[in-house]
A and B are shown apart, each in its own frame.
Chain A
Amino acid sequence: MLSSAAKILVCLAIAFMAVSMLRRHPHAAVSAGTAPVNKTLTIAQSTDADTLDPADENTIPTLNIARLLFGTLYRVSPTGQLQAYLAESYQYAEDGKSITFQLRPGLMCEDGEPLTARDAAYSFERAADPKLKFTGNATGFVLPALGYLGARVDGKLRFTLLIKKYNPIAIGLISELLISCQAPYEKMTKEQAATHPVASGPYRLAQWTHDDRIVLERNKYFPLPAPKYDRVIFRVIPETSTRAAELIAGDVDIITNVSPDQIDVINNSDTARVESIASVRRIYVGFNQKQKFASTPGGRAIRDPAVRLALQYAVDVPTMCEALLRTPCTRAATMVAPNNDHTGIPPYPYDPDRAERLLDAAGYPRGKDGVRFEITMQAQRDLYGDTNVMLAVGQYLTDIGVKTDVQLLDPSVYVPLIRQHNAGPLYFQGTGGATWSPLYDISDLTSPASGTNYTNWADPAFFDGWKQLDATRDPAAMDAIISHMLHVFHDRGPWLLLFFQPDSYGVSNRIHWQPRPDEAITLSED
């Protein structure tokens, strides 16, 4: 049995703990259990980095972190200009089959060793090394799209990339490849490289608590202008309402993917605001013309360009954006981001009567039950938060007599389906674009069989444009060819164009920060 004194002590201890736990919680601006630190920026994303290996990155949240850890030869400005970064210049060879880069002098790795042309060449060689079995963006897309053949060191600060043929978007592609330092990476296993990055950029990794936070601190050896923050913390907060609460409470400075229902909540707070921007991600409904769908009424109908044209008039895109995404948006006119679209093609207006007339004329009148034909639209549940948009599109089509069954599928089911070109006959999709070149945007459809042509569209009037593009290096001629291709795409293309995905970020009133249209989070160096 406890004595009376012991009982009193126990009671006091319990009371002390209760009071200390229930006192007004001082929301730290930095991390759990630490005091606020000046010049620290905290960014909350929905997922953690999967790997910090510079050659193996492939998700946007990971790249947002990796771009602060690793430099690139060139980089893309918020307005889509390609700017020299670790390199100071480049020169194409006469035949276009090689590009020589001159690096800036005085570059250093995190360990204080000089970063030279040997390191830059090694970054390409390492990403391309089949023995390392990388599956990231560099190996899976950038190097093949570049036509990479090899890298040659020409001097301490000079190296040459060898490519299969002249590639007009090479510098933009190279802006996605992170430069790493040879000496430390040669010593590391692949597993070590995934978790122990050796920085070549403005920050270095200070702490990584998986699924919780990544803390970056200034890389003292980085010689170029760097963002003003001493520390940048990336917190992992998967739930949108929790991210919004943390922002309003002042615990984080920037949050990504603000859901439409949180926009007013954040804007009505005294502490934060929502910054929205039309991204370069094109949201569309694809018409899959694969033979397997031709046996269904809907699959057969959408093979007819007149039907595809009619459906373009059926969807009220601005109203959908306003009502469902709580963000104004302009309907996409072509598959190219507005800043690179010089065609002057206007977006399709919302005109359901015209859509009905066109369908009548195409030979698809309403039946006794009011239905012209039935069709299935497959979509990935919650893709970019657009589930309500998917359902609304289905309803708009049903309203003009195209009875649409919207099937919402989990990513693990939908992604393999669409990558094998088996989603459809209608499918809802978003595809990333670029601010720096219209060619990147139209390269979704490089051939009828290309990986990203999920529609199996094969109109020669469009695809012959690629042969013409291959035959010229004159920018004006290229513009004219692209313009013709976009007109064909607009008139009888395989996409029901919707909008450029509006991205909404929550931003603390403590900071000035503007989002970019290419989904990247970058920090200004002013």
Chain B
Amino acid sequence: MALYMIRRLSQSLLVIFGVSVITFLAMHMGGDPTYLYVSERASNEEIIATRAKLGFDKPLSVQYLRFAEGLVHGDLGTSLTYRTPALPVVLKRFPATLELTFFALTVAVCVGIPLGVLAAINQGKPLDGGIMLMAMFGQSMPNFWLGIMLILSVGLGLRWLPISGRVPLLDPLLDGDLDTMLANLPHALPYLIMPGMTIAFFSLARTSRLVRSSMLEVLSQDYVRTARSKGLTELRVIMHHAFRNAQLPVVTMLGLEFGFLLGGVVVVETIFSWPGVGRLVFNAINHRDIPLVQAAVLTFSIVFVGLNLLVDLLYAQLDPRIRLGS
């Protein structure tokens, strides 16, 4: 197990190094970013001076080495837009994105899995058809459209929920202020529902489809028939014998789904003015704020790699046949 962990961690470091190199090169491919940081009326001399101030006058290799050196010391440079260290800018917005992602994933799991199980045990019946129709709808509907429809109907029409904005939940918790977090909770939930549901709808649909197909495969296995022939209740057969064995692909998918949701909330964060890291990265890419993009991409890749590691470790818990490191 320890050997496995060491091997996976060293692989992860390689992945993160690769990500940093690719991001760095990709951000420099579009030409000199200096022009995005000077007044439109700046003269050539002012442009040259600004280029030197930003460090873009140095060769690419020197710029990367400087970045790598900073990385070792935990310094990812100063954001060109915000004029403050890049990593804290990213980390400050990370809780907002995490909140949204957790909420969406919770909805996707709590609703998607039961729906998938229900569809599987009612295969071919109207309930199965209805659930699959909804799943297809959820997967084919663009989230920017769903978000705007929710704003217009639930936010503006019915006035049930606030249209945009956020009340922080995780931030006070991370600051150790549980009281504020609890006080904010009833205010925060209404702000979370529309953006959270917009993101969750796609994942929910995908989860229910995966659970259904996984369950159908397991339900046709001999051991399920044996369980039934032993006279066990249908609920027990489904929950203890079928669903348990159908969990493995679902767990794999959920690990990836979390990473997908983390990186894929840009549109929803923009529509609902959610001050998360997705919107930050989107703007940073547009402004070629290279230190900020690198800080964000590295943070994302560390989280993603960590999640995948966690999923691998979970495998061993869920399926005793899997022996990590062997």
A5 at the interface (CB under 8 A from B): no
B220 at the interface (CB under 8 A from A): no
Interchain residue pairs with CB less than 8 A apart (20)? A24-B159, A135-B53, A140-B39, A140-B46, A141-B41, A144-B46, A194-B82, A195-B84, A209-B168, A212-B165, A212-B275, A245-B163, A246-B164, A249-B155, A249-B163, A251-B162, A432-B40, A443-B41, A444-B41, A451-B44
Q: Which residues of B contact A194 (CB under 8 A)?
A: 82-84
The 10 A-B residue pairs whose C-beta atoms are closest, nearest first, are A33-B187, A211-B275, A141-B39, A419-B35, A133-B53, A140-B39, A212-B275, A416-B35, A416-B31, A194-B83
Interface readout for A126-145 with B: 1 if CB under 8 Å, 0 if not? 00000001011101110011
Q: Contact between A239 and B270 (Cβ–Cβ < 8 Å)? A: yes
- A residues sitting closer than 8 Å to B (CB atoms) are 17, 20-25, 27, 31-33, 47, 50-51, 53, 56, 58, 133, 135-137, 139-141, 144-145, 190-191, 194-195, 209-213, 235-239, 241-242, 245-246, 248-249, 251, 410-413, 415-417, 419-420, 431-432, 443-444, 449-452
Q: Contact between B187 and A245 (Cβ–Cβ < 8 Å)? A: no
A242 to B188, CA, bound (A): 19
Q: Which residues of A contact B81 (CB under 8 A)?
A: 50
Q: Nearest B residue to A212 by beta-carbon distance?
A: B275
Tell me the smallest distance from the CB of A288 to a CB of chain B, in Å: 16
Tell me the smallest distance from the CB of A491 to a CB of chain B, in Å: 25
Interface readout for B18-43 with A: 1 if CB under 8 Å, 0 if not? 00000000000011111111111111
B151 at the interface (CB under 8 A from A): yes
B156 at the interface (CB under 8 A from A): yes
Tell me the smallest distance from the CB of B316 to a CB of chain A, in Å: 30
Q: Nearest B residue to A422 by beta-carbon distance?
A: B31
A135 to B52, CA, bound (A): 11
A480 to B193, CA, bound (A): 64
Q: Which B141-175 residues sit within 8 Å CB-CB of chain A?
A: 148, 151-152, 155-156, 158-168
Q: Which residues of B contact A47 (CB under 8 A)?
A: 283
* Contact of A451 with B82 at beta-carbon distance under 8 Å, contacts A135-B53, A210-B92, A242-B163 already known: no
Q: Nearest B residue to A447 by beta-carbon distance?
A: B43
Q: Contact between B83 and A56 (Cβ–Cβ < 8 Å)? A: yes
Q: Which residues of B contact A242 (CB under 8 A)?
A: 148, 151, 163-164, 271-273
Q: Which residues of B contact A136 (CB under 8 A)?
A: 39
Q: Nearest A residue to B282 by beta-carbon distance?
A: A238
B93 at the interface (CB under 8 A from A): yes
When the two chains form the complex, which single residue of A33, A211, A420 contacts B279, counting CB atoms closer than 8 Å? Answer: A211
B115 at the interface (CB under 8 A from A): no
B136 at the interface (CB under 8 A from A): no
B103 at the interface (CB under 8 A from A): no
Tell me the smallest distance from the CB of A125 to a CB of chain B, in Å: 17
Q: Which residues of A contact B286 (CB under 8 A)?
A: 410-412
A33 to B40, CA, bound (A): 40
B85 at the interface (CB under 8 A from A): yes
Q: Which residues of A contact B160 (CB under 8 A)?
A: 22-25
Tell me the smallest distance from the CB of A62 to a CB of chain B, in Å: 10
Q: Contact between A27 and B30 (Cβ–Cβ < 8 Å)? A: no
Q: Which residues of A contact B259 (CB under 8 A)?
A: none
Q: Which residues of B contact A239 (CB under 8 A)?
A: 270-271, 273
Q: Contact between B83 and A191 (Cβ–Cβ < 8 Å)? A: yes
Q: Contact between A237 and B273 (Cβ–Cβ < 8 Å)? A: yes
B189 at the interface (CB under 8 A from A): yes
A17 to B193, CA, bound (A): 13
Q: Contact between B159 and A251 (Cβ–Cβ < 8 Å)? A: no
Q: Nearest A residue to B183 by beta-carbon distance?
A: A33
